[in-house]
Amino acid sequence: MRFAVLGAGSFGTAVANSLARRGLETVLWCRDPEQAQVIASVHRNPRHLKGYGLAPSLEATPDMAAALATASHVITAIPTQSLRDVLERVRGLPVEGKRFLSLSKGIEITTGLLPHRIFAEVLPGASLAAMSGPSHAEEVVRDLPTAVIAASEDLEVAMDWQARMNSPHFRVYTSGDVLGVEMGAAVKNVIAIAVGVACALELGDNARAALATRGLAEIMRLGVAMGANPLTLAGLAGVGDLMATCYSAHSRNFRFGLAVGRGKTPALAAEEVGEVVEGAHTVRALTAYARRAGIELPIAEGVFAFLYEGASLHEVIEGLLFREPKPENRPT
């Protein structure tokens, strides 16, 4: 058994390192040959998780064909907006019989598709599971306790990934609700941006808790409308990931919101974060879908307004505070 991890960002690096440290043959595919050379020679990623040493046995290569050639299990740790391009490259290689695990968290802007639907279009028939949950790379790479969920329409595939990925430090649960797992993973990034802004504006813990909780209501509302199981969204992929993303300095989406709230433009805020801010992309597809479907997502709409429509942060906050009073459990 051999693992190939496609994507040498923070989480791809952390997962690949975790597998290699357990003695499992693992190769990390990097887009950049120089990055691959540094990882292979000095066992550090020069761009991500710079302060952490990597397992000496972890291989790295810029050659995708070589990375996939002998791998039985393939993990894609690719930003959602780049996933289709990477899978198009994978499609041109012999991958029949390999099992795939997607770690992408977002919605494709051009199509409105979640990662598992992108897989279905580019690699139809692929044996696929999606994994998500509260799992900051900075903690996974340190072997701190982490719990996630692996979901597949074929439960045997989810259980196979559970068996491969589970360790004393990394607990994996299973689910058949791929849509729910990916929806929770995508939307919580948008909510985290709003929470980051609230923190920057020093609106207090009450506001932060209210945004996170009402953000969960938006995740539930949208997810159930699309066919997700609400229990999935109340679990690791929903509540769990939302809590970690809204309450941790490791969260790139939270840090992005913090920077925007302190007066930086979205472009400068993204540059400061130094990682892909999925929520800033996801909110575009998210609001477009919600408007077509007639689903109210006021927090997501607010994030979209100040990122892409020129609204001021104070206008957005005022708009949220002065919405029509409603019962908490009302559908909209």
Beta bridge partners of 102: 76, 130
Collapsing DSSP to helix, strand or coil, 99 comes out as: strand
Q: Is 177 annotated as a binding residue?
A: no
Q: Is 235 annotated as a binding residue?
A: no
Q: Is 10 annotated as a binding residue?
A: yes
Task: Extract the runs of DSSP E, i.e. beta strands, from the chain.
Answer: 2-6, 25-29, 59-61, 73-76, 99-102, 127-132, 146-151, 170-175
Q: Is 241 annotated as a binding residue?
A: yes
Give the amino acid at 207.
A
Q: What share of the chain is helix, strand, coil (3-state, %, to 5)?
A: 55, 10, 35
DSSP string, 191-254: HHHHHHHHHHTT--HHHHHHHHHHHHHHHHHHHHHHT--HHHHTSIIIIIHHHHHHS-TT-HHH
Q: Is 137 annotated as a binding residue?
A: yes
DSSP 2: E
Q: Is 12 annotated as a binding residue?
A: yes
CA angle 90, 113, 105 (to 5 degrees): 75
CB atoms under 10 Å from CB of 1, counted, come to 8
Q: What is the CA radius of gyration of the chain?
A: 19
Q: Is 237 annotated as a binding residue?
A: no
Q: Is 47 annotated as a binding residue?
A: no
Q: Is 240 annotated as a binding residue?
A: no
Q: Is 127 annotated as a binding residue?
A: no
Q: Is 184 annotated as a binding residue?
A: no
Q: Is 97 annotated as a binding residue?
A: no
CA-closest candidate to residue 74, choices 98, 53, 92: 98
Q: Is 31 annotated as a binding residue?
A: yes
Q: Is 311 annotated as a binding residue?
A: no
Q: Is the dihedral of CA 255, 256, 257, 261 positive or negative?
A: positive
Q: Is 72 annotated as a binding residue?
A: no
Of 50, 98, 188, 326, which one is the catalytic site residue? Answer: 188
Collapsing DSSP to helix, strand or coil, 306 comes out as: helix
Q: Is 135 annotated as a binding residue?
A: yes
User: How far is it, in rounded angstroms, from Cα 82 to Cα 121?
Assistant: 14
Active-site annotation holds for 98: no
Q: Which active-site residues does the annotation give?
A: 188
Residues within the annotated binding site?
7-12, 31, 105, 133, 135, 137, 188, 241, 251-253, 276, 278
Residues within the annotated binding site for NADPH?
10-11, 31, 105, 137, 252, 276, 278
Residues within the annotated binding site for substrate?
105, 252-253
Residues within the annotated binding site for sn-glycerol 3-phosphate?
105, 133, 135, 188, 241, 251-253
